[in-house]
Amino acid sequence: MARPVIAIVGRPNVGKSTIFNRIIGDRLAIVEDKPGVTRDRIYGTGEWNGVAFSVIDTGGIEIDGDDGMLRLIRVQAELAIEEADVIVFMVDAKSGVTNSDDEVAQILFRSGKPVVVAVNKVDNLQRMDDIYEFYSLGFGDPVALSGSHGIGIGDLLDAAVKLLPVKEDQEYDDDVIKVALIGRPNVGKSSLVNAILGEERVIVSEVAGTTRDAIDTPFEKDGQKYVLIDTAGMRKRGKVYETTEKYSVMRSMKAIERADVALIVINGEEGIIEQDKHIAGYAHELGKASVFVVNKWDAVEKDEKTMQNFTTTIRDHFLFMSYAPIVFLSAKTKQRLQKLFPVIDRVAEQHAMRIPTHVLNDIVSDAVAVTPPPTDKGRRLRINYVTQVAVKPPTLLVFVNDPELMHFSYERFLENKIRAAFDFEGTPLRLFTRRKSDQE
């Protein structure tokens, strides 16, 4: 189910990114140290009082052009309005209400979206009186906070979460494979959708389930039921959105959250750019089965090594997703399109695979016997027990004598051994270490 969205908007230098980082906390810290995952984030996830949500930091959106600061602020506000269920309007207690704040307030007021005014840089009690002038913005009680000191974040989240809607997504049977087509603009996603749905032996449902943010198209092929989740709105926007590449990340996130399999579409003519890494990284972090789809392959000049060289390039750029298969095709000519669905079926099956505990422990025991864990200050890691606790993605708990002795490199070694035994093609594999006494 797609999470509701909170967007943080406001003029530059009011502390949007600081508050963003405070809200998402350390949720992304683990994946950030993996090779190839970008750290330039504008989209994160958080949870407060049992409510999970996504957070947009509009401060991370870079707009090309030199039409002035007000244009930049206006575009950021419009992006937030388009995506958000609740908007956190950041202002600065030290500066007071500025003309730029009034500009943003007018845009937000016309939107009709719920708005919480967050007055940042209230670093001490003496500054509390500074918040009252922000009532003039017209959004009710301002919330005082200090991003640098971490004060007031709970009050802000209380106010924002209270305004979030309860989202209801279209429900599908467990045997339906939900496939999201993701990628930056102009890689051919819409052409690929049309090619898939126009192929022979594909039966498209008369009634498509819909959500506010994505278009669902149920269909059946060779007896298997699927739902294509296509990001809505990316083709209907004006120049502002076409020049804002990071906007596509926001759209892609919502599709990824609801999918079983993410098709990461890459333009074969242009090759790989940083934006592709952004989008692929989110699929990885959310634990989705993934397939790299290199589109427009018909337009690429080829020799006998072209595909091999492009494969090497993908592997070099996406070291953190070495498990994801690669399909080369052309949506325009339907060349090699028939190779796509067997791969989707396979990675969906691997994503949902469950390994019996005794078999899993036999593999890990053999791996440890051949390559024992290294010692750390005279102490050695001892693995007592391994069990799979979840699927989609496959998630393993490793019970040990001391989790601090599990070095990243040995964890990677165990993952490689498990993959060698059970494949898990196309899906991330999650390993969590827990002290044996915590097993209860």
Token pair of 231 as six digits: 């990001």
370 and 336 together in one domain: no
Quick count: other Cβ atoms within 10 Å of Cβ 109?
13
The residue behind tokens 């990243």 is: 408
CATH label of the domain that carries residue 369: 3.30.300.20
- For 282-285, which contacts have Cβ atoms below 8 Å and span 24 or more sequence positions? 282/43, 282/249, 282/252, 282/253, 282/256, 283/182, 283/256, 284/31, 284/37, 284/320, 284/321, 284/428, 285/28, 285/31, 285/37
Average pLDDT over residues 343-367: 96
202 and 269 together in one domain: yes
- 3-state DSSP assignment of residue 240: helix
Range of the domain at 99: 5-163
- For 307-316, which contacts have Cβ atoms below 8 Å and span 24 or more sequence positions? 310/268, 313/271, 313/272, 314/266, 314/272
- 3-state DSSP assignment of residue 371: coil
- Return the beta strands (E) in 137-195 as ranges: 143-144, 177-182
Q: Which of 330, 351, 372 is the last residue of a domain?
A: 351
Query: What is the number of structural domains in the chain?
Result: 3
Q: Which of 351, 366, 391 is the last residue of a domain?
A: 351
Q: Is 362 domain-assigned?
A: yes
Q: Is 169 domain-assigned?
A: no
Q: Which of 351, 369, 404 is the last residue of a domain?
A: 351
Percent of the chain with pLDDT over 90: 50
386 and 431 together in one domain: yes
Q: Please state the residue numbers annotated as binding site.
A: 10-17, 57-61, 120-123, 183-190, 230-234, 295-298
Q: How confident is the model at residue 353 (pLDDT cuts 50, 70, 90)?
A: very high
Percent of the chain with pLDDT over 70: 80
More confident residue, 193 or 171: 193
| pTM more than 0.85 | no
Backbone angles phi, psi at 184, to 5 degrees: -70, 170
> For residues 64-92, b (16+ Cβ closer than 10 Å) or e, as one string?
eeeeeeeebbbbbbbbbbbbbbbbbbbbb
Q: How far is CA 436 from CA 369, 385, 431, in A?
A: 20, 8, 15
115 and 254 together in one domain: no
185 and 307 together in one domain: yes
Q: What is the pLDDT of residue 307?
A: 95
265 and 362 together in one domain: no
Q: What is the pLDDT of residue 389?
A: 96
182 and 318 together in one domain: yes
Which string of DSSP letters, residue by residue, matches 247-262? HHHHHHHHHHHH-SEE
Least confident of 3-12, 182-191, 236-245: 236-245
Q: Is 48 domain-assigned?
A: yes
250 and 139 together in one domain: no
320 and 336 together in one domain: yes
Q: How confident is the model at residue 401 (pLDDT cuts 50, 70, 90)?
A: very high
249 and 395 together in one domain: no
CATH label of the domain that carries residue 50: 3.40.50.300
Q: Is 103 domain-assigned?
A: yes
Task: State how far the Cα of 325 lies from the Cα of 320, in Å rounded to an integer.
Answer: 13
Task: State how far the Cα of 31 lies from the Cα of 36, in Å rounded to an integer.
Answer: 10
Task: State how far the Cα of 51 lies from the Cα of 54, in Å rounded to an integer.
Answer: 10
CA proximity to 339, closest of 292, 279, 287, 302: 292
- The span from the first CA to the last CA of the chain, in angstroms, equals 29
Contact present, 91 and 10 (Cβ < 8 Å): yes
126 and 213 together in one domain: no
CA proximity to 396, closest of 425, 370, 434: 434
Q: Please state the residue numbers annotated as binding site for GTP.
A: 10-17, 57-61, 120-123, 183-190, 230-234, 295-298
Average pLDDT along the chain: 83
269 and 227 together in one domain: yes
Q: Is 334 domain-assigned?
A: yes
